[in-house]
Chains A and B, each alone.
Chain A
Amino acid sequence: MTEKLVIVGNGMAPGRMLEHLFEKAPGRYEVTIFNAEPRVNYDRIMLSPVLSGEKDYEQIIIHGDGWYIKNGITLYKGHKIVAIDRAAKTITSDRGVTAKYDKLVIATGSTPFILPVPGNNLAGVLSYRDLDDVQAMMLAAQSRSKAVVIGGGLLGLEAAAGLAMQGMDVTVLHLMPTLMERQLDPAAGYLLQRELENRGLKVICKASTKRILGERKVEGVELADGTVIPCTLVVMAAGIRPSAWLGKSAGLDVNRGIVVDDHMQTSDPDIFSVGECAEVGGHVYGLVAPLYEMARVAAAKLAGEDVPGFVHNDTPTKLKVTGIDLFSLGDFADGDDRQEIVLRDASAGVYKRLVIKDNRIIGTVLYGETADGAWFNDLKKKATDITEMRDTLIFGQAYQGGSPLDPMAAVAALPDDAEICGCNGVCKGKIVGTITAKGLSSLDDVRAHTKASASCGSCTGLVEQVMKLALGDSYNPAAVQPMCKCTDLGHDDVRRLIVAKALKTIPAVMQELQWKSSCGCAKCRPALNYYLVADWPGEYEDDYQSRYINERVHANIQKDGTYSVVPRMWGGMTNAKELRAIADVVDKFQIPAVKVTGGQRIDMLGVKKQDLPAVWADLGEAGFVSGAAYAKGLRTVKTCVGSEWCRFGTQDSTGLGIRLEKFMWGSWTPAKLKLAVSGCPRNCAEATCKDIGVICVDSGYEIHFAGAAGLDIKGTEVLGLVKTEDEALEVIVALTQMYREQGRYLERIYKWTKRVGIPEIRKQVLDDVARRKEYFDRFVLSQKFAQVDPWSERVSGKDKHEFKPMATIGMAQAAE
């Protein structure tokens, strides 16, 4: 007698299961299928090519109507099952049809996750799951207007690319800092974003959707930061959830999905579950390969065969957007029991990374060239020992005995009009052209004829690389000290290339300059972060996790893990109200030590980390801002009492000091920057051992720089004399900006000066008035984004997580 097999859901998993079952046990079951979607089984994966117009629905059908007839299957299209009666062994659809089963298979797939934001039910908000969604999107696309896709994962990006091909103007919003972060590391995520942007898509990462705007229809999306993106279509692709409610309401064991054993049997032996709704061995799945494996195992079980159970295997991920090659597999986290092999080809946009553990591949990320994905997958699956082929492994299967990376690639890829020497405005084309035309062969010749590297010299490394490119192996550039072990490039080359290639994120720098590690180290990340902050004011978003703790929490860490707090006291001046506020804060938070610093202000030492925001709130109310005593940035401007009080004072040194501090606070510099202004050559403010100092004299202001009084002791150099306070301010600011643009990270002004030479600095910021003005203007621009008091930002809730423990486990709970 045939048994009754009833299936809920007609997706890819049960379709495959039936194929196996009919082969193994033809005629054993009489099959009935209920499907909420009013159609036959089709290849859901291929919805993206349908959306982009590369395929049509007929081409993606897996089982046409004829197949159901041939196999004697009753298919209820457009029937959603709403109840299972396990005692009676029946199920019932929303249209009132009831069917009796001997064996039941639940294959209800997944449900798209809809963000719980206001407006999520407006007309024009769609998910991306089935053919109806695709047809609705294609209809909306006829308007050729704007669409927003929420979610930069696999589905979201395929939807976005498809809509763009249908002529829509598409913006992708992604909550995380890089696209497809589950499958790609930040380096590959960066390349993907760049490629999509080249195709005209807009991508906004770290975008948190606040609400969807509109009366009845969608009119736009508003982000948490207040940005509004107008649009007529919103596609939510923010993830899927296993559709397990039917199992739950029938009283089956349900966790994230319907719990099944390794033969797909639920907690009721007559009920099976396959597909995305099933949870096996603690995993739920969203790609078909493991679902097909479930289908195979379930079919065997239903056919009464004894086969080995389901085992977990990593499935490679690919993105089905024509022309984008991307492959990700397995576990690609760093670890010190693991090594990574990274290959970057900046000009070809290729990034490959293999993660190796115990001489075996455990993870792979490929971007731009994925032909070897299958081979790496195979090596991983078979746990092949790769020791023998280690040196050439990354080049792929076909490439044994490969050549080393080309260190010249980054420079070779620069266009002819890329500026190499900033001081003299010399571009790559000019250097190459002059070398060829004049037959030059030495650096001195190139300097003489092109002026490149003839001024501050910070571009020397690059000029030499261009020479090597033009002259070939006959030219040997001097060795540069690399920034760190992640790169062969020195600080200067990195700085110049960041500007020349308009690199605006840390992953961009690492990819384009062919970093040898995937995520940098504690040496290069803070340096890159500074260079990007300095070079792209207003555009670059600070990378919090690449900053040293003091700059992250805007206080100085102490040896016992507490912090010190130093508010600004402009030019060292204070008053009763400020002192009272400090006294109150010290009492209220029982701060153990208060000290007058060597920088003319007050230090409160031993503040508990979790008290910091409250301490700042009180100080902020009294008008204090952060003194940046922790920053690679402007620290103090020491002053003396000057002409206001002192019998020798020649100018208002206190006033100028305060003016400088108010003008320059907030800016980030390569290393700390300390200023002082003394009212006469007696120099009570010790201006002649500061990074920049001013000695006031009767005839004006003598500007000093490049002093030191810390690890090294060094008197300042005289830059020159200016007549007015305004001029003094302009020169000091221009000098600071020149240093900001050229200094190596952690290099104080006196060291930078030694490298560049006093005459060159004097020429650029004192003698050349036009250039001075340009430096000044660039500083002013960057201050627009830098002069935000970090304390008040944090009092208002920024970086909240820093100041609270994640959890506190009490004695009671922790006891056995």
Chain B
Amino acid sequence: MNWTSIGSITDIPRRGARCVNTPEGKIAVFRTAEDHVFAIDDHCPHKGGPLSQGIVHGSSVTCPLHNWVISLETGKALGADEGAVRTIPVKVEGEQLFIALEALRNKAA
């Protein structure tokens, strides 16, 4: 895989998220309370809400627009709601974070 550096884990607050702008669209990179890092499309499967702006709990995020709960690991909506966003592989090396964008391109293709 082709890993692109996006910065340090310390750039993201715990239980928070930051965005990365890419040619594949905006990606939301999350850091959980226990320092696990996930990247998903910043685009809620419901009506496109910016998931990066939601409240992070456990390894899920609650969308800021209509409260769908999205799994950061699978990108799938949890509970009764149905839908999914694309997940992007993340690699953590020390404090440095990398994402593999090509995974998205392959999915898109």
Contacts and interface: CB of A to CB of B under 8 A. Distances in A.
Nearest to A810: B23
Contact of B2 (A560, A806, A808, A816): A816
A809 B20 contact: yes
A645 B85 CA distance: 58
Contacts of A335: 36, 58-59, 73
A156 interface: no
A49 interface: no
Nearest to B62: A522
A190 to B, nearest CB: 12
A815 to B, nearest CB: 8
B57 A557 contact: no
A809 B105 CA distance: 14
A552 to B, nearest CB: 8
A113 to B, nearest CB: 13
Contacts of B47: 559
A487 B84 CA distance: 29
Interface string B2-21: 10111100011111101111
A807 B64 contact: no
Contact of A801 (B11, B48, B49, B60): B11
Interface string A800-813: 01000111111101
B103 interface: no
Given A336-B60, A809-B22, A557 B65 contact: yes
Given A336-B78, A549-B53, A814-B4, A519 B13 contact: no
A547 B13 CA distance: 13
Contacts of A547: 55
Nearest to B18: A806
A809 B23 contact: yes
Nearest to B44: A561
Contacts of B67: 522
A337 interface: yes
A561 B29 CA distance: 17
A808 B22 CA distance: 6
A36 B28 CA distance: 48
Interface residues of B, number: 50
B89 interface: no
B56 interface: yes
B81 interface: no
A186 interface: yes
Interface in A190-228: none
Contacts, number: 127
B7 A807 contact: yes
Interface string B53-84: 11111111010110101010110001000000
B18 A805 contact: yes
Contacts of B102: 816
Interface in A39-81: none
Contacts of B18: 801, 805-806
A547 B55 CA distance: 7
A790 interface: no
B60 to A, nearest CB: 7
Contacts of B55: 522, 525-526, 545-549
A557 B58 contact: no
B37 to A, nearest CB: 10
Contact of B13 (A526, A553, A801, A807): A801
A648 interface: no
A118 interface: no
Interface in B20-46: 20-24, 26, 29, 32-36
A519 B64 contact: no
Q: Which 7 A-B pairs have CB atoms at the shortest separation, nearest pair first?
A: A334-B58, A806-B18, A522-B62, A333-B34, A545-B15, A549-B53, A333-B36
Interface of B: 2, 4-7, 11-16, 18-24, 26, 29, 32-36, 47-50, 53-60, 62, 64-65, 67, 69, 71, 73-74, 78, 93-94, 101-102
28 contacts: A181-B35, A185-B34, A256-B94, A332-B34, A333-B32, A333-B33, A333-B34, A333-B36, A334-B32, A334-B36, A334-B59, A335-B36, A336-B73, A337-B73, A518-B33, A518-B58, A519-B15, A519-B57, A521-B58, A557-B53, A557-B65, A559-B47, A805-B26, A806-B19, A811-B23, A813-B4, A814-B101, A816-B102
Interface of A: 177, 181-182, 185-186, 256, 282, 332-337, 517-522, 525-526, 544-550, 552-553, 557, 559-561, 801, 805-811, 813-814, 816
Given A547-B55, A805-B26, 12 more contacts: A185-B33, A334-B36, A335-B59, A336-B60, A520-B57, A522-B55, A544-B13, A549-B54, A561-B53, A809-B23, A814-B22, A816-B102
